[in-house]
Structure 1
Amino acid sequence: MTTDPSLVLRTYADAAHTAYETLTALDQLSGDGDFGDNLCEGLDRVTGALDTHPDEPPFAVAAAVFLDEVGGTSGPLIGLLFQELARAHAAAPGQDAWPTGIHEGLAAIQRVGEAEPGDRTMVDALVPARDALRSGAGTRETAQAALGGARSTAALRARRGRASYVGERAVGHPDPGALGVALLFWSRARADGQAPGELTDHLPDLPAEAPPN
């Protein structure tokens, strides 16, 4: 059996709002500062669409929203992840489709974004999560792997995306995209009753002051 996708997405929306200030501050260090807005607004649109169309496959709804309506660099990439989760759930109803969905979603993101582990992107959270799922890890352990991958980006200098142009400015703080994706796995664990602690326990301290872009 798999955790209810609708509950995962609704929990993810709540988690994104909890982490909003952190995601925004982190993105101000290395990007346009709009990642928190894009993630929260996108997930709010997803939950609204789920309310309006409760019989539609939840991850397919989320994919359509993020691919068609969410801006920024990360929005379409998260849409690809949702798209592959939707396909995996459709192909194996009632079964745990996350190992396949995350594997294929990661592959799609890497095809489009060309990021590799160590480039300081959402890939650094997705790879350990994929590996944990492949090994048969539960929702708690998978969330811990994703969160650990996101934390590891604090030591990395970006080699992809807009963050690659700001040099060392963001080093010491995790990548907002990696953290945002890790929240998905924390949300799945929370929906499953297996969350590794409160979300606030996993959020980094806010930068004292985000330099202007």
Structure 2
Amino acid sequence: MTFDQEAVLRAFARAAEDGHAELTALDQRSGDGDFGDNLRGGLRDAVGRFESNGGTAFGALGSVFLDDVGGTSGPLLGLLFTEIARALDGDDDPVSAFGAGARSGLEAIQRVGEAQVGDRTLVDALTPAVEAMPGGFAAAARAAADGARHTAELRARMGRASYVGDRAVGEPDPGAVGIALLFAAAAGVAEPDAEVPAVL
């Protein structure tokens, strides 16, 4: 299996562009409405940095989101992308490398943010994706999508959404949707013939 990091970055960026309005609307119900802007802007900048500086696509993602993207999710996503970049650099098997990086990223996110499954955060999509990753990218993408959809049933216990009570219930958490878009992009590149459910 080949794994084209640049193609994944560009697919992820297109998904953020296409889903910007819906991601913004979701975050307006549960947060301050900036997630769509932050994700789209960060991905645009990462594409630009990769084109200008070279290196690896996930390295560009990690540095942009850690250094330049605001909001609660920017640095957390930066940790994830950085760990994936590190793992992909040291392993020839993209499934095991991406899975190991995603697991390390999840652990880093939980150390910093302390969120657990059920708290209605990106962890609700990332955890099942990591657990399903040994089965391949499409299996992880399906698990992430299922996890993101399930957040619609949850009352937030962490982050800004925890202050709005039940107002966000009924719609998925935007951060979890962002994770599902990442895994869908990776699956579309690595396993183009596999079925991956739409998240937005």
TM-score (norm 1): 0.89
Identity between Structure 1 and Structure 2 (%): 55
Aligned partner of residue 141 in structure 1, secondary structure: helix
* Aligned equivalent of 2:149, options 139, 148, 151: 151
Instruction: Supply the distance in 2 between the matched residues of 1:76 and 1:51 (Cα, whole angstroms).
Output: 22
Aligned length: 197
What CA deviation, in whole Å up to 9, does each residue of 1:8-31 have, x standing for no partner?
A: 111100001111111000000010
Equivalence for 1:69: 68
- 2:128 aligned with 1:131: no
Residue 90 of structure 1 and its aligned partner are, at CA, apart by 1.8
Q: Secondary structure at the match of 2:59?
A: helix
Q: CA contact under 8 A between 2:76 and 2:109: conserved in structure 1? A: yes
Runs (5+) with no aligned partner, structure 1: 204-213
Q: If each structure's helix is expressed as a fraction of its own residues, which one has the higher value?
A: 2
The 3 A distance-change label for structure 1 pair 10 and 126 is same
Indicate if the aligned counterparts of 1:20 and 1:37 stay in contact, CA closer than 8 A.
yes
Match of 1:164 in 2: 162
- The one-letter amino acid of 2:145's match is L
Q: Indicate if the aligned counterparts of 1:187 and 1:195 stay in contact, CA closer than 8 A.
A: no
Q: How does 1:1-213 map to 2 (within 5 A)?
A: 1-54=1-54, 56-92=55-91, 94-96=92-94, 97-133=97-133, 136-192=134-190, 193-194=192-193, 196-197=195-196, 201-203=198-200
**Match of 1:174, as an amino acid?**
P
Runs of 4+ in 1 over 6 A off after TM superposition: none
Separation (CA, whole Å) in 1 of partners of 2:21 and 2:148: 17
Give 5+ residue unaligned stretches, structure 2. Answer: none
**Do the aligned partners of 2:181 and 2:199 also contact (CA within 8 Å) in 1?**
no
Q: Secondary structure in 1 aligned to 2:115?
A: coil
Q: Give deviations 1:152-210, integer Å, cap 9, x for gaps.
A: 00000000001000000000000000001110000011112145357xx431xxxxxxx
Is residue 177–residue 199 contact of structure 2 (8 Å, CA) maintained in 1? no
Separation (CA, whole Å) in 2 of partners of 1:182 and 1:120: 14
Compute the TM-score of the two structures, normalised by the length of structure 2.
0.95
Once residues 130 and 140 of structure 1 are traced to their aligned partners in structure 2, the CA distance between those partners, rounded to angstroms, is 12
Paired amino acid for 2:24: T
Q: Describe the superposition over 1:4-55 as per-residue Cα deviations: whole angstroms up to 9, x where unpaired.
A: 111111110000111111100000001010000000000000011111123x
